[in-house]
Each structure stands twice: as C-alpha cells, then as structure tokens.
Amino acid sequence: MTQPGSLDAPPTSGPLAGLRVIEIGVAMAGPYCAMTLGDFGAEVVKIERVGAGDDSRSWPPHFHGAMGYYYGSANRNKRSVALDLKSPEGAAIARKLIEGADILVDNYRIGALARAGLGWEVLRAANPRLIYCSVSGFGATGPRAEEPANDLFMQAYAGGMSITGEEGGGPVKMGMSVADIGAGMLATIGVMMAVEARHRTGRGQRVETSLLEGQMSMLAHFVTRYFASGEVPGPSGSGALTSPTYRAFRAADDWIVISAFNQRMWRGLCTALERPEWVDDPRFADAALRVANRLELIDLIGAVIATRRVTEWEMLLKSNEVPCCPINRIDKVVAEEQVAARSMVTEIDLPGLGAMRMAGLPVKLSETPAAIGLPPPRLGQHTAEVMRDAGYADAEIEALARRGAIGLDEGWREGDQPRRAG
C-alpha cells in the first residue's frame, strides 16, 4: 500500500473548491452541514455502514423505488464510501482518508467515533490542520452528553413544542425538522469560522454544536421574554403573544395571515376592514392596549374577515399596505412564480433511474455560485474510486470487500466516477 493519499476529484468554481470533507453522519443534521459545504464546491466523501448505509436510505417514499426521499434531500454533491468502522481495517481506512482531509463532520453519539479510534485527540495528532465538527444531541459535556436525541425529542426537551399549537390545546411538533436543520446550519457556520481562523493560524480546531444548543438559540426571544417578565410563554396558535394583529384568520373560503405589526399598519388594517373607528378606540389605540385586549380584538377582526374570500382580502389589505398572505400548501408553494424565479425547485438526474425534484440552493453568490453536480449517491458507489485515489490497489480492495471491511457498489471495476458539473 502506498503512502496516504488525498481525495482528489475534479476542481469546481465554488468558493470552497479545494476543501476536502469527510462526513460520518446519518439522517439530517450532519448530512445537511456536509451537503451545504458540497454545494459550494467542497469535495465531500460520505462514510456509510456496509450493507445498510445511512438509516434514511430506507425511509419511504422513494424516487423510482430506489432513492429514499429523506436521504436524497440531504446528500447531493457527495461520494459514498461503505466502511465497517467496527472492524480494525475499516477504521484504518477512515483514518487514512481523514488524514488527507480538511474537515470531518459527524453526528454520531458522543464517544462513538472515539471508540473506533477516530476521536478528536487522535485525529488532531495525525492532522493538525483538521477541522473536526461534531453535531450531537446534547453537546459534548454535561450529564446527558452521551444520550441519544432526535428532532422530535429535542423539540420537546428544549421547549419548542410548549410554545407551538393552539392556546389551550395539546403540544404540537413544528412541521419542519427544525432541530436537525438548525443544528446543521450552525455546524456549517462553525466550520466556516474555523476555516477562516485556520487561514491565520495554520491550525484546525474542534467545532461543536448540538440540537439542544441550536434550539436554545432559536428560542432566544422567548427565553429573554421569560427572564424579563417572569411569565412562562405558551402556545399562541398561528400568531404571537405580543400582537393580536399578527396571526391567521379564517376568511369565507380559506385561511389568510395578517401581519400588521406597527401603528401605520394598524391604521391600514382598520381602513381595509372598514372599521376606521377602531384606530382611536381606547381599547386598541396603541400596541400595549391591543395586547391587553388581545382576545377581544382577535374575535372582532375574525368576525369581519369571515365575511369575504381570501382573494378579496388580499386586494383590500395590500392596497392599504398591510402585509398578508394565504396559507399555502406545499403543492402551491412549489408552483409559485416567485419560487421559480429564485430557482428554489430544481431537478437532477439519478443515473439509471430518472429525474428527482428537490429544493434548490438557498444562497446565491454572484462570483462563485453554488452548484449541484453530483446526485445523491448509491450506497458504496464510490468506495473503490476513493480508495484508489488514496493509494489502494484493486487486489487490496477486493480482499477488504471479501472480509466485510468495505462495501462495493455494482460495477466498481468499471470505475463508476460521475463528475461534478462545472
């Protein structure tokens, strides 16, 4: 076997071109971080379990009966390598790949990678420039550090579910995977700050975040509200505890959101509702009075809104400069002209299967834009390719596969090497 090699791959024009990332992640938080780095040009290798891969591969529905939707949503722009990290040989391959990388992203339970010989101290000694990003449930320290957590668990534990839902009703989970994706976004920010610091120091560092810390940061104004008032925030339905004119109302045919959050908009709302006398009504004349008489005002506005259709209210409210919007379902959102104008639905080809539609790239850069060059990979699709790049001969690859240390995709001898679009 030759000396440790690099994860060589075709260059891209993205701002992170030249950075090499190893991801050891499952489901959403870690994979979302690594995908974002890949979208902007980093070369990402995803290490998955032999035989099973990322848990989310099996979650239905599937595109063309083969690509799990959840897996596909967080794993574009990556190459897949199947390794058994519980075997000494599989762990050794992972170490070798990480020694040639800039960034490691993982969202395994705290301590799991250390038990495989892939802990921070070991890897930092071998690669001082390594940025080691860990996304966990509770963080790396504290009494619950080694406990597992997931999105639903953390929405409950961190308090988000206690402020979601209708007043007087039961707890409601946020529809989006807000704990997972929030942690993945914060991990991406942390990695980029560590990359910038490395430009000055030449040294890598450990980057840590967690579902708990992500949720606490998102709850920032609820936490400060509690400390300021001593009152425990609760659910406020479609609106906000601080404003009765910032919520959804039922029109004659459907729901509409009104977000009149200042005095100018309050006057415009009263005009649109044909209730000009409310502007100076001593119950509603300023924001504090409207909050004090919140339930009464919600009922009054609701009774008026119920008399006309959503399209009529949109016209009236917008003509009075009051922000408003129907509550779109997903099928409506993906067909919106504005979504198309911002390229927020994109289609990619799954080789041998067909088209896959997914959410587009949310950040636009004028000089070094992101790109989708690689579709979500098949399990172990690039095991042989990456190992060859790292200096392994085909005979070694075959022997390791026979022993179960690695997993190979069909057709590996043909060198299935899809290339990133320019």
**Residues assigned a catalytic role:** 180
- DSSP E strands in 327-397: the ranges are 345-350, 354-359
Q: How far apart are CA 103 and CA 131, in angstroms?
A: 5
Structure tokens at 117: 């010989």
Structure tokens at 267: 């006057």
User: The sheet that has 43-49: what strands, in order across it?
Assistant: 206-210, 131-136, 103-106, 20-24, 43-49, 79-83, 406-407
The answer to whether 258 and 326 are in contact (CB under 8 A) is no
The answer to whether 184 and 29 are in contact (CB under 8 A) is yes
- Short-list 138, 11, 121, CA closest to 419: 11
Structure tokens at 153: 């668990």
The answer to whether 409 and 378 are in contact (CB under 8 A) is yes
Question: Can you say whether the dihedral through the CA atoms of 198, 204, 206, 209 is positive or negative?
Answer: positive
- Share of the chain residues as helix, strand and coil, in percent rounded to the nearest 5: 40, 15, 45
The answer to whether 183 and 211 are in contact (CB under 8 A) is yes
